[in-house]
Structure 1
C-alpha cells in the first residue's frame, strides 16, 4: 500500500510491501529476501504516519489478539493500518513539503481521511460564501465549529443547513455574536469564547471581509473596510491568544489584491485607513488585504516560540459570493466571470489546507495560494513597513477601546520608536 498522493518515483518495486508498527512507524519488507528497512526502497526517504486514524476508522483487537482496523460506515475490517494511505515523507526542514493540491482541488479533497472530531475552530464570516463552505467542510469531518458572525439569524440558518447537508452533530456547531464594525463587540466575543465554546482553540480562521463599499464609518469612527477586514481581525487574534496552545493555527484570509496596495503618505499621515477625501473602495480593500498578510507575519514571529502558527492566504480570484453585493456593477462583473472562477468548494480549499494539513505542522509566517506557499508582495516583506503597520494598528485599537488584555503588545510597539 502506498501514499495516495504518490508520484511515480514512490511506487514500490516488485516484491516490496509497506507496513506500520504499533507505534506508527513505517517500514518496508522485501518478500523475496525477507529484508526489512526503514527507508523507502525507491526514494531512500523515511515516512511518517498521521497521529490519528483516518476519519471513520477505529482500532480493535480480535479474539486471536491481533490488531484490526474497522471502517465504521461499512463495518469492514483489515489488518493493514489505514494511516499508510496518508503517510508522508519525514521532513528534514520545517518547510520541506511537496505540493499535493492545486487550484482545482476542493476542500473535501483536502480533508479526505482527516478526523477533526477532537478539534475546535472559530471562523468569522461563515454564514455564507467561502466561510460557510469552510465551516461546512470542517463540520462534515467532525470538527467543533464556532460561527463568529454579526447576523445571528442567518448564522442559525446556516448551522441548520450544514447539519442537513452533512449529518454533522448540531451540538458541535455553536454561534457567537461578533460585529467586526465594533471593537467592543469583538472584545465581548473573544472573552465569551471559553464559556460558550471551548477553553482552547486548535484553529482560528479570520475569513470575514467587505469589498466595494462607498465611504462609510463604523461605530468606532473608522473607515469600514479598514476596520472590518483588518483591524478587528487583528484585535480578535490578539484577544484569543490565551486560548491558543502549542500547535494551534491562526489563518488570515487575505487576497492577491494585496499586491496592488498603496501606502503612499500613510505613515506620514499616521493613518492606515483612507480618509473620505482620498477614498477609493478598491484601494481600501487592497490595503486591508496587505495588512492581513503583514499582521500574520508579525504574529507568526511573536508566537513562534509558543508553537502557535500563523499564515495567510488567497482563496481565489473573483469567486462569486456575497462580497460583491454592495454595488450592482460589482455584482455584474462577478456574475460574468463566474464560469471561469473557482467554485465555493475550490475557494475554501486553501483555507482548509492551511488550517489542517499535517505537513504544515511547524510552518508559520507564509502566504499561500492554490494550496501552496508563494512569495508575498515586496511591501508585505518589508520589515520596517510591517513594524509601522502593526504599531499604528495597535494605536488605533488603544485609542478606541484601551489597552486592557493587549498591554504587552502596546508596551513593545507603541512606546518604542524603532524596531528592536
Structure 2
C-alpha cells in the first residue's frame, strides 16, 4: 500500500477499507507514514467524512495500536462512563463509587481539562498523594481490590491516538465528529470494559454547543461500541450553565463528597444518579432504571458509596482523611465575593465564560502543559432561576494570583443575566439514545 493512494481515495470521496485504515495507523509506529501524510488524510476526512464502517475500523486500529486490557478474570460486567466535558462536571467522582457500591466494577481512565472545560484527573490530583499514573498491572489490582479504579491515560493505551490528536490539534481537524468519536472510543474500549454510558453535552459550555452535533456524536460513538461488541447508552445533557455550584479542582472534590453524603446540589446529584442508574442496569445489577435508581439512592443513604471513594483514594496513594475533612484539600489565599448589580431573578448563567474565568485563575489549562492550581475556583451562590437582591453575593471567587482578579471578576459578571420575574429551567437530560 501507499499512503498517497489512500489519501487520494479519501480526497475523492471514496470509503476506505479496514485494511487501508489499519495500514495507515500502523504506519505511525513503523515510520512508513509521515506526519504530513496523516495531516493530509485528516483534512480529507474533515471534508469528506467517514461512514460507520470506516469510523469503527479507525477506532479498532487505534485501540489495537497499544495494549488492550484483559479484565476477564475480574467478576461481573465492567462498565465505564464518559463525558464529553463541560464546566463544573464532577459526576465521575460521584457516580463511579455509587455504581461500584451497587455491585458494578468500574475501570475508569479519565482525562485532563483543556481550555474552559475541567478534567477528572485534575480534580483527583487535588487530593493529597493521589496517583493517577498507575501501570496496567496496578490498574487491575486496584480494580480487583476496590471494585473501582480511577487513573489517567498510560503510554500503553492507544498510543496512535495520542500522536493523531497532536496532529489534529495542529491542523484544525479536532472538531471532526468521526475523528473525535474514534479518539474517545479507542481509549475507552482499550480499558477492558463490557459497556459504556456516555454523557454527551450540548450548550454554551460544551465542546459541541449545537444539539444536532451532540446527537450525531452520541449516535456515532454508540454505533462504534456496538459494532465492537460493547453495550452502549448515551444521555444528551445540557451544559448551558455550570453543573453544580463549584468550579475548580479542590472545590469540586468537596462538592462531590457532599453529594455522596446526600447534601449536594439538586442538578448534580440528579444527573449523577441517572448516569449511575444506567451503569447499574447495563452491569446487570438491576432489571430497570426504576430499580437501579433506588439501589443508587441506598448506596448514598447507607454510606457505602462514600466508603468506596475512601477505599480507592487510599489504594491509589491518596489521603482518605481529605474525603471526610475538606480542610485537608488545597485552598486559595483570598475569597472575593461578586455582588449582584440589581435585584431580580437570575435568568441565565453562561457556562463558557465561567470556565474561561477559572482558567485565568489557574484552575484550567490554556495549553496542554499548563500547571493547575488546585485551590482556586468559583463557588456559585446563584444560578439560573434563583432570586437575588442587589448587593447579595452572586458567587465567591477563590484567588491566589491577584493579577488576574479584575479580568476574572469582569468575565464572571458578564456571564450573569438578571431579569424580572420567574424563568423556566429546562430539564437537564434532553434525551437518551442506545
Same-fold call, TM > 0.5? Answer: no
More helix by share: 2
Question: Which structure has the larger Rg?
Answer: 1
TM (norm. structure 2) is 0.26
Query: TM-score when scaled to structure 1?
Result: 0.27
Relative contact order, CA 8 A, sep 6+: which one is greater? 2
